[in-house]
Amino acid sequence: MNEILAHPILVSVVLLLLLLQGIFIFNDAQKNGEKYPWLWGLFGLLNVPGSLIVYLLVTRVFRKRKS
């Protein structure tokens, strides 16, 4: 754990990616009329790129099949 914290550039890049992903998911969810865009945005802050993949699958693939 101390080795990871010894690399502030790596930590900064990961935090920046998480923030950008959360913002993208929030904006996309708002644009597409999702019921809780803020919840999707918070979900986007969990991990990279897993949250984005789940978001795209749920909103693009599974919901299109229902319609």
The domain ranges of the chain are 2-66
At 31, the amino acid letter reads K
- The pTM of this model reads 0.85
pLDDT digits (tens, 9 = 90+) for 46-57: 999 999 999 999
Split at pLDDT 50, 70, 90, the class of 65 is confident
d(CA 67, CA 31): 18
Nearest of 43, 63, 39, 67 to residue 53 by alpha carbon: 43
Place of tokens 């502030």: 8
